[in-house]
Amino acid sequence: MIELSNIRKAFNQGQSNEYWALHGIDLAIEAGKVTAFRGPSGSGKTTLLTIVGCLSRPTSGRVRFKGEDISALPERFLTDIRRQSFGFVFQQFNLIKGLSALENVILPAFPTGRPRAKLVAAATELFERLQLAHRLQARVEWLSGGEQQRVAIARALINDPEVIIADEPTANLDTALSKEFMAILERFTEAGKTVLLTSHDPLVVESSAVHRVVGMRDGRLTGE
């Protein structure tokens, strides 16, 4: 589904503080599976996810998504792909304060022009699946960490993406909530979705919900 070939990424290229975060990554990611990236801090996991998720472009190398080379596409097309195909669950959740949980969830669907009634119905269904229906109208800053995370997950799913990208999804959660998250992951794969995540958490990496663990160090893959 996703093929990376010789991906290299430099920050501040050409300046005195030039830094190469990725040194030639070759990787093929299968559809319908959960792939976890594990590695020490600074090894380039987040950087790799931003490239896969079309949030940034590699300095060199190719990214193929469903056989199409997307590394050279202009911003507009990347945004389209990002909206249609990827759902993000950020480490800090990145919900928009002051808005209700519902508003946050339907936000990614605004540019698609789907009617509001349909969006609200879809969001309500997601909230029910995540056992959060009673918090629909609550402002996100009043929600607990676990609730916020489920809002973030619902937001990642509103456009029904094929790929879910989650960076350190359990970093802010206790064991019980982490386990709940893994259960949600299993449902994703049952629904045929592809999941990419990064984690330090043994509970995640060793979970049966994760099909494949990829190690990273210093911007290189270190094997499975």
Ligand X SMILES: Nc1ncnc2c1ncn2[C@@H]1O[C@H](COP(=O)(O)OP(=O)(O)OP(=O)(O)O)[C@@H](O)[C@H]1O
Binding mask 22-51 for Mg ion (x = CB under 5 A): ------------------------x-----
Positions 24 through 63 that interact with another protein (CB under 8 A): 46, 49-50, 55-57
* DSSP string covering 75-88: HHHHHHHHHHHEEE
End-to-end CA distance of the chain: 18
From the CB of residue 6, how many other CB atoms can be counted at a distance below 10 Å? 13
Structural contact between residues 212 and 202, judged by C-beta atoms closer than 8 angstroms? no
Instruction: Determine, following the binding rule CB under 8 A, whether residue 82 of this chain makes contact with another protein.
Output: yes
Candidates 16-24, 64-72, 103-111, 209-217; binding stretch for another protein (CB under 8 A)? 103-111
Q: Give the residue, chosen from 64, 83, 179, 200, that forms a contact with another protein under the rule CB under 8 A.
A: 83
- Segment contacting ligand X by CB under 6 A, of 35-43, 101-109, 150-158, 184-192: 35-43
Residue 107 neighbours by CB distance under 10 Å: 15
How many residues form the binding site for ligand X (CB under 6 A)? 12
Backbone angles phi and psi of 183, in degrees to 5: -65, -40
State the nearest-atom distance from the C-beta of 56 to another protein, in Å: 4
CB of 161 to another protein, least distance (A): 9
The CB-nearest residue to Mg ion is: 46
Report, in Å, the least distance between residue 80 CB and Mg ion: 26
Enter the DSSP assignment of 112. G
Strands 212-217 and 220-221: what pairing?
antiparallel
Dihedral sign (CA 104, 128, 154, 93): positive
Q: Give 2's strand partners.
A: 29, 65
Scan residues 75-114 and list those touching Mg ion (CB under 5 A): none
Helix 116-129 crosses helix 145-157 at what angle (to 10 degrees)? 130
Contacting positions for another protein (CB under 8 A): 46, 49-50, 55-57, 75-76, 79, 82-84, 88, 90-91, 94, 96-99, 103, 107-108, 110-116, 155, 159, 167
Contacting positions for ligand X (CB under 6 A): 11-12, 19, 21, 39, 41-47
